[in-house]
Chains A and B, each alone.
Chain A
């Protein structure tokens, strides 16, 4: 136990102001304000991989590491779409996930937001649209924000979420 405490002490706090500080700080404050106002203080995200190469997920995971610690903005990931305000979708929407995606989206309560995260989710990316892919999330469900990148970095993701929160109404 001593060793653990020592390590925690040595490591200190790593959470940092998001890069491009001014812009994001401002957005951060604003998003917190909107989240407090409109969503009762927290933004719950359900993530769905619809055939990503898995790199998009790696970067979404990174949002939870001590450097980004996205929970401090009132944002957290939930297990069920029923509890989610936001659907964060990656992948070109494989046709084998098409119905699962639609059902997940339908299970969400209103108001619900959708982010198509990564080039694949935006327009099919490297996989495009073919016999096995739909070629982007907006071909299957309405999308509020397209977030390009291959994969979007944690900073990109944070920017995207903040931008979305500024929007007036979900689609």
Chain B
């Protein structure tokens, strides 16, 4: 399969719909392909893309002088196509993609709240990221908005967000959050239920919004890498890698092969640690304490290995622009090899027990069912997508280094329930163990980083990586002084949260925690 064989066909379809392509650019955001469109044609292009079955994978805006550049990412067959257009900052009005791609809903609302882009025909006019920390008619990402903000008063609680309600006999509402009963990130869930059955769930996030896109502006490359590593702490490797890859593409920096291998090693270690924690967490949410303790134990051992090998339990700040900041310690083989074999033996035992346990099966099978159609429509990737028939993995299908030189296996199941999401995690742990084995066997010698170039001119780059949660896209633009002018990391959680709102329907309220854990979205990753 050649890259972009489908693109000429798509361009023909666009032409038939009278969509004018101002410029077709394979270089600007390579390996993604960029189509510069007239703002007038924005909605029509989405309609054609939707009819062609493409996946909608992200949106951001970039204020440049008196214009706002808008980018939307489409994915198809492992290729990424970026639609791009410009609207005047004074009247930034554009057709919404949401009528054609439901996945676009919250990203468009986010862009409206932060940059003031007005998406016409958007079916939901409510704010999303904005609560009460800044007024309705000002937009933090505009250059005239001070980083420190201009409303010094205490921000009141966001009490008048208009949740949709279901009325009728016996329907009641359960509000949960932002401060939860457990140790989890703050968000608000509004359930409408009858008896124990969930009729509707609406999530409201934004509580962890901390101005990441704004405070990225003006940073140097290493400052951005540190920030990216804190977009979502459990995905610190994936986000740092994505941001560094975007910066390296923008600046034309070639990362040495050894550094790429080490990055992949880090990414697989991160995947394993999180999946271990999640499998334990899912079992815990249905009262199977044995597995919770066992997987907690395995995770802790794994984190201690991380510390011994990479100097940080959660692997923060190891990936830096140009490579990685530390090489493997001398005795790494004697640490990592026993780790791999211990984990793989323990998994065999424990997964067999999980498989055999009928009361667990009772709770997990058929719970939180997400159809393949919905998964596709919502653009879900990662374990949520893979458990619902979305056979896609950036490492395998888009092939970035060093994965392009390794045969990456990616699991896919069609059951779409909590049990399948647990199984996918187990499958992925095994695949990652396997990958780690191959990575260390083929570890190239040589430097672990190159110096970051002194003079980086205006440029932009887009990177896509497979984080443990799924596909992450990261966009960076440098200004003429080589400082960051725009950073937008798109976590997979943008798409798995709407999936959660659907898959919980018809389930009983007490099964929400396990449904939630099986999806495990990052609030921080999507609130930014």
B313 CB contact (under 8 Å) in A49, A59, A60, A100 = A59
Query: Which B residues lie within 8 Å of A53 (CB)?
Result: 230-233, 236, 524
B425 sits at the interface (CB 8 A): no
Contact A54 B523 (CB under 8 A): yes
CB closest residue in chain B, given A14: B297
Query: Which A residues lie within 8 Å of B508 (CB)?
Result: none
Assess A65 versus B208: contact at CB under 8 Å? Given A58-B234, A99-B156, A131-B145: no
Residues in A lying within 8 Å of B, measured CB to CB: 3-4, 7-8, 11, 14, 47-62, 64-67, 77, 79-81, 91-92, 94-100, 103-104, 125-133, 150-151, 153
B89 sits at the interface (CB 8 A): no
CB closest residue in chain B, given A135: B148
Query: Which B residues lie within 8 Å of A153 (CB)?
Result: 313
Write 17 A-B pairs (CB below 8 A) sorted by A numbering.
A49-B184, A51-B208, A51-B524, A51-B527, A52-B208, A53-B230, A54-B525, A55-B236, A56-B233, A61-B183, A64-B296, A94-B527, A96-B209, A99-B155, A130-B215, A131-B140, A151-B314
B186 sits at the interface (CB 8 A): yes
A128 CA to B149 CA, complexed, in Å: 13
A151 CA to B157 CA, complexed, in Å: 27
List residues of B (204-246) whose CB comes within 8 Å of A's CBs: 206-212, 214-215, 226-227, 230-234, 236
Contact A94 B207 (CB under 8 A): yes
List residues of B (117-159) whose CB comes within 8 Å of A's CBs: 131-134, 140, 145-150, 154-158
A83 to chain B, nearest CB (A): 11
B276 to chain A, nearest CB (A): 11
A64 CA to B356 CA, complexed, in Å: 26
CB closest residue in chain A, given B155: A95
List residues of B (60-84) whose CB comes within 8 Å of A's CBs: none
Given contacts A97-B207, A130-B215, 6 further A-B contacts (CB under 8 A): A51-B208, A94-B210, A96-B132, A98-B154, A127-B215, A150-B316
B524 CB contact (under 8 Å) in A4, A52, A79, A130 = A52
> 1/0 per residue B469-504: CB within 8 Å of A?
000000000000000000000000000000000000
B178 sits at the interface (CB 8 A): yes
> 1/0 per residue B348-392: CB within 8 Å of A?
011011001000000000000000000000000000000000000
Q: For chain B, which range describes its interface: under 10, 10 to 19, 20 to 34, or 35 or more residues?
A: 35 or more
Contact A66 B293 (CB under 8 A): yes
Contact B215 A128 (CB under 8 A): yes
> 1/0 per residue B232-269: CB within 8 Å of A?
11101000000000000000000000000000000000
Contact B149 A58 (CB under 8 A): no
> 1/0 per residue B282-309: CB within 8 Å of A?
0000000010011011011001000000
Contact A96 B208 (CB under 8 A): yes
Contact B209 A130 (CB under 8 A): no
Contact B182 A130 (CB under 8 A): no
Contact A3 B183 (CB under 8 A): no
Question: Across chains A and B, which 9 residue pairs bring their CB atoms closest together, nearest first?
Answer: A55-B233, A131-B149, A79-B181, A65-B296, A53-B233, A95-B133, A132-B211, A95-B155, A51-B208
Contact B210 A132 (CB under 8 A): yes
A67 CA to B234 CA, complexed, in Å: 20
Contact A99 B154 (CB under 8 A): yes
A49 CB contact (under 8 Å) in B185, B215, B227, B303 = B185
Assess A92 versus B210: contact at CB under 8 Å? Given A3-B353, A3-B356, A126-B226: yes
Assess A48 versus B210: contact at CB under 8 Å? Given A53-B230, A64-B296: no
B351 to chain A, nearest CB (A): 11
Assess A132 versus B185: contact at CB under 8 Å? Given A51-B524, A67-B300: no
Contact A4 B156 (CB under 8 A): no
Residues in B lying within 8 Å of A, measured CB to CB: 131-134, 140, 145-150, 154-158, 178-179, 181-186, 206-212, 214-215, 226-227, 230-234, 236, 277, 290, 293-294, 296-297, 299-300, 303, 313-314, 316, 349-350, 352-353, 356, 522-525, 527
CB closest residue in chain A, given B356: A3
Contact A96 B233 (CB under 8 A): no
Query: Which A residues lie within 8 Å of B186 (CB)?
Result: 48-51, 97, 100
Query: Which B residues lie within 8 Å of A49 (CB)?
Result: 183-186, 208
Query: Which B residues lie within 8 Å of A131 (CB)?
Result: 133-134, 140, 145-150, 211, 214
A125 CA to B524 CA, complexed, in Å: 15
A104 CB contact (under 8 Å) in B179, B297, B316, B349 = B179
Assess A133 versus B297: contact at CB under 8 Å? Given A53-B230, A57-B185, A97-B186: no
CB closest residue in chain B, given A150: B316
Contact B234 A66 (CB under 8 A): no
Assess A97 versus B233: contact at CB under 8 Å? Given A14-B297, A92-B210: no
Contact B297 A66 (CB under 8 A): yes
A54 CA to B186 CA, complexed, in Å: 10
A100 CA to B154 CA, complexed, in Å: 11
Contact B297 A67 (CB under 8 A): yes
Assess A65 versus B234: contact at CB under 8 Å? Given A8-B290, A49-B208: no
CB closest residue in chain B, given A97: B207
Contact B233 A58 (CB under 8 A): yes
CB closest residue in chain B, given A107: B179
Contact B182 A79 (CB under 8 A): yes
Contact B294 A100 (CB under 8 A): no
A62 CB contact (under 8 Å) in B227, B303, B349 = B303
B323 to chain A, nearest CB (A): 21
Query: Which B residues lie within 8 Å of A56 (CB)?
Result: 233
B156 to chain A, nearest CB (A): 6
A67 CA to B294 CA, complexed, in Å: 11
CB closest residue in chain A, given B145: A131
A130 CA to B231 CA, complexed, in Å: 16
Query: Which B residues lie within 8 Å of A4 (CB)?
Result: 290, 353
B110 to chain A, nearest CB (A): 13
A48 CA to B177 CA, complexed, in Å: 11
